[in-house]
Chain A
Amino acid sequence: MFVENEEFAARLEAMGELEREAAYEAVTRWFAENSGKITHHAHLAPAHTATTVRLDGGEPVVTDGPFVEGKEVVSGYAEVEVADLDEALKLARSWPACPVVEIRPIA
């Protein structure tokens, strides 16, 4: 799971056109280089588009915004097929964009 924070968003915002293009290109290249291992991936629309439904308080409660009002938000995910955690870590280390990557097995 790819996780963005405010600093990252601000940095992206502050980039010039060329710089931003290069950043996007790095991401595209990463997906191309690892296409053999990536079975599925998606980029999510920004956190302000999120709507959360809480089902744990009797009546479902619908609120705007992501499930935690934190400084870090999930911005996308990629499903990868790797032998073990070390291989997943290696992939995550080479990820060129947002500053946090959470690795979790698919149940």
Chain B
Amino acid sequence: MSAPDDGRGSREALAHVVREHAGRLVACLVSLLGDFSAAEDLVQDAVETALRRWPVEGVPDRPDAWLLTVARRRGLDVLRRETNHRAKLARLRWPEPGEGDDRLRLIFTCCHPALSPEARIALTLRVVCGLSTAQIAAAFVVPETTVAQRITRAKRKIAAAGIPYRIPAADELPERLGAVLAVVYLLFNEGYLSSTGDRAEARDLADDAEWLAALLAGLMPGEPEVAGLLALIRLHRARGAARFDSHGRLVPLAEQDRSLWDHAAIAEATAALTRAARAHRRPGPYQVQAAIVACHAEAAGFEQTDWAQILVLYDMLLAVAPSPVTRLHRAVALRYVKGPAAALAELTGLEEALSRYPLLHATRAELLRALGDTDQARLSDERALGLTANPAQQALLHQRLDQAHGDVRYG
């Protein structure tokens, strides 16, 4: 047993141990019982017991066996009347290494398009990553009852609508994999964008997202988009230390101290991305986005950024996944290739689609300021400020409005 400790570090370590084992145990129980909801309940009970007892008693030497024993005991208890389930539980054993990882089936079930997007996220976090309902609620700053309700409804729908527990067939795979990757990416964005000082107590969702992407990449080595998403997440996180200053304020990309970036991690992620792209020659939105981030990450300084290459990549991204937000980002790259006036002209076509998107107005403010129109720039910054709820973005915009002449760029 490792020594008990009640600091944040040990809480995180506990969560990591649970994450490694809970999903595996649920997968194993669903296969055995053929009942997703019952399996999930048993494991969630075991996880909650672990989170209560491990901080006091220490983490057991075989946490997987511990969770299995608690889940089985609980199962024999609550499934008393269901002799069929009881007989199966009695045969329960931990899967031998090399038996294949059932968690892939679990992920596809949790991310089924017949579930609402919120339910997919909550269910994946709870079932695959082993988070408790309270942890999910804290991470998304919503009441615990809301999360509990989402999960209960989702489990009910899985049973009632007959959402299968299996990996989709080849013809459905691209679409279904897209839904899975979207959940992981949303999770990452939620964690990465809101990872400010005032949420320090909350679970780091970006960490869960990276873990999920790595798990998927290991389980689906033939899918370059999975490798692309993993590289994308790792490239962003490798620059995490420079994103906020000592006061928890967001630092724009142009002003980040690049010596704080994890250059080894950047090189590794870029190499993995290149390998996947070369091996499969099937580019997709995640690979292209990762390539764009790699361009930024590999530049020695902001002035050395290869904007022409980034512009080409944005055109590729727009070809595979057209979206107004991507066009906005492309306009930023265009500024450094063709100048602020050309970029500003691009924004005109995006006004309708992105009128409530703060980054559109913040970008316009920057371009107007670069062109010397400080009055209009101020109006756009104020508009952006009125639209963002993110405290770090708000702070950056306030700072910009205060020093009206500074040329501060968004990170």
Partner-B contacts on A (CB < 8 A): 82-86, 88-90, 103-105
Whether A84 and B164, one on each chain, are in contact in the complex, defined by CB atoms closer than 8 angstroms, is: yes
Other A-B pairs beyond A82-B162, A103-B161, 14, CB < 8 Å: A83-B162, A83-B164, A85-B112, A85-B114, A85-B161, A85-B162, A85-B163, A85-B164, A86-B164, A86-B166, A86-B172, A88-B162, A90-B172, A105-B161
The B153-174 residues at the A interface (CB cut-off 8 A) are: 160-164, 166, 168, 172
What is the CA–CA distance of A17 and B120 in the complex, to the nearest angstrom?
A: 46
Partner-A contacts on B (CB < 8 A): 112, 114, 160-164, 166, 168, 172
B160 contacts across to A, CB distance below 8 A:
105
> A87: shortest Cβ distance to chain B, in Å?
8
Q: Which of A85, A88, A89, A105 is most buried by chain B, counting CB atoms within 10 A of its CB?
A: A85
B162 contacts across to A, CB distance below 8 A:
82-85, 88, 105
What is the CA–CA distance of A89 and B164 in the complex, to the nearest angstrom?
A: 11
What is the CA–CA distance of A84 and B166 in the complex, to the nearest angstrom?
A: 10
A103 contacts across to B, CB distance below 8 A:
161
> B340: shortest Cβ distance to chain A, in Å?
44
What is the CA–CA distance of A35 and B226 in the complex, to the nearest angstrom?
A: 39
What is the CA–CA distance of A86 and B108 in the complex, to the nearest angstrom?
A: 12
B168 contacts across to A, CB distance below 8 A:
86
What is the CA–CA distance of A83 and B163 in the complex, to the nearest angstrom?
A: 10
> B336: shortest Cβ distance to chain A, in Å?
44
Task: Sample 25 A-B pairs with CB under 8 A, ordered by A number.
Answer: A82-B162, A83-B162, A83-B164, A84-B162, A84-B163, A84-B164, A85-B112, A85-B114, A85-B161, A85-B162, A85-B163, A85-B164, A86-B163, A86-B164, A86-B166, A86-B168, A86-B172, A88-B162, A89-B114, A90-B172, A103-B161, A104-B161, A105-B160, A105-B161, A105-B162
B112 contacts across to A, CB distance below 8 A:
85
A88 contacts across to B, CB distance below 8 A:
162
B161 contacts across to A, CB distance below 8 A:
85, 103-105
What is the CA–CA distance of A100 and B124 in the complex, to the nearest angstrom?
A: 29
What is the CA–CA distance of A23 and B172 in the complex, to the nearest angstrom?
A: 26
B163 contacts across to A, CB distance below 8 A:
84-86
Q: Which of A82, A83, A86, A104 is most buried by chain B, counting CB atoms within 10 A of its CB?
A: A86
> A83: shortest Cβ distance to chain B, in Å?
7
B172 contacts across to A, CB distance below 8 A:
86, 90
What is the CA–CA distance of A45 and B168 in the complex, to the nearest angstrom?
A: 37
